[in-house]
Amino acid sequence: PVVLGLGEGEVEIGDRFTIFQVVEEVRDVETNRILGHHVDILGWLEVRELTGDTSLAEIRTSYAEMRRGVRVMSRPMADRKVTIRTTPDSIEGQIVFLPSEHTVVADGGYVYLNRGEFHGVEVGSELEVFDSGLILNDASRRVDVRTPDHSVARLVVVSVTSETSVAFVLSSSREL
């Protein structure tokens, strides 16, 4: 059991909250603008009793040690099924963050993107990660030529906000 600093009028019996702590800022690789924060999810709890200015809750799941002062946020029920949908070709963005202190990720991993609803991304949007073609010198013709871009991964968006999204790596031919 734990005491929450939220009471009558702020929560109701049965409300569920995710318990988390902020780890670091996530910045756009193009503009260095803060896009959000990487958080560690410590578990979740459910409100059991209202006690005026506070409430009593029960920790239902714990993934890590929790200390006094960790934060909580409403725990939305996420849909476990995602319908893949096409995405307009004009959306281009970058992977801006890899969770769990990873430096690379491949099939089955998650990536955070600097594009969201504002840019036309939706839950279920299928995206492609590609390597840009190279500019090489064709010595025989004495001209520079650009090789074609090539796809290295397929992603599907599983969570989206106005300017960012989280995508699951469906397949990749190399690490991202």
- Is residue 79 pLDDT above 70, yes or no? no
- In the numeric block, the tokens 């099924």 are attached to 81
pLDDT digit string (tens) for 132-159? 888 888 888 888 888 888 889 999 999 8
Two tokens, residue 72: 């909580």
pLDDT digit string (tens) for 30-41? 889 999 888 888
What b/e string do you get for 122-150 counting C-beta neighbours within 10 Å, with b at 16 or more? ebbbebebeeeeeeeeeeeeeeeeeeeee
Q: What is the mean pLDDT of residues 150-172?
A: 91
DSSP code, position 5: S
- Is residue 100 pLDDT above 90, yes or no? no
d(CA 146, CA 90): 20
Computed over every residue of the chain, the mean pLDDT equals 88
Q: What global pTM score does this model have?
A: 0.70
CB-based burial label for 16 (10 Å; 0-12, 13-18, 19+): middle
Q: What is the mean pLDDT of residues 81-109?
A: 81
